[in-house]
């Protein structure tokens, strides 16, 4: 009986630990921009959202370039590389985003 109880407690502890890891996706700040216009990616035609992680660009799935403002504005993805806080994973050479939050651009203060 003592062995069964010990085995049960170990199983519950391991299961809770695995569940905790599963529920907390890694969040990181990355460079985000148009893959074609700013990162020189040629796999697709047109303008598509991409992120650069550890110096390598990946097209993004789970959100699109048009969901984050006018891509062709002066600070849009086709004209600027922005910072974004993202979570997700790289699968088949694409970043599958579970969250994507564009961070504010830094503006120079006028004196």
pTM of the model: 0.72
The span from the first CA to the last CA of the chain, in angstroms, equals 76
Q: What is the CATH number of the domain that holds 80?
A: 2.40.50
Domain-embedded: residue 1: no
pLDDT of residue 109: 41
Domain-embedded: residue 111: no
Cα distance between residue 35 and residue 81, in whole Å: 10
Say if residue 103 is exposed, middle or buried (CB neighbours under 10 Å; 0-12, 13-18, 19+).
Answer: exposed
82: number of Cβ within 10 Å: 18
pLDDT of residue 80: 96
Domain-embedded: residue 6: no
Structural domain harbouring 63: 25-102
Q: How many domains does the chain have?
A: 1
Domain-embedded: residue 36: yes
C-alpha dist (Å) from residue 88 to 20, 69, 100, 106:
16, 21, 9, 25
Domain-embedded: residue 107: no
Q: Which residues of the chain have pLDDT under 70?
A: 1-25, 105-111
Domain-embedded: residue 41: yes
Domain-embedded: residue 90: yes
- Eight-class DSSP state of 70: -
pLDDT of residue 60: 98
């Amino acid at each position: 009986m003592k062995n069964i109880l010990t085995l049960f407690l170990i199983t519950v502890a391991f299961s809770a630990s695995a569940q905790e890891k599963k529920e907390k996706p890694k969040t990181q700040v990355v460079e985000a921009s148009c893959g074609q216009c700013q990162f020189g990616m040629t796999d697709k035609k047109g303008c598509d959202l991409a992120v650069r992680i550890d110096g390598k660009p990946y097209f993004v799935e789970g959100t699109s370039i048009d969901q984050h403002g006018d891509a062709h504005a002066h600070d849009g993805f086709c004209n600027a590389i922005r910072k974004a806080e993202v979570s997700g994973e790289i699968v088949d050479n694409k970043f599958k985003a579970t969250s994507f939050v564009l961070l504010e651009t830094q503006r120079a203060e006028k004196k």
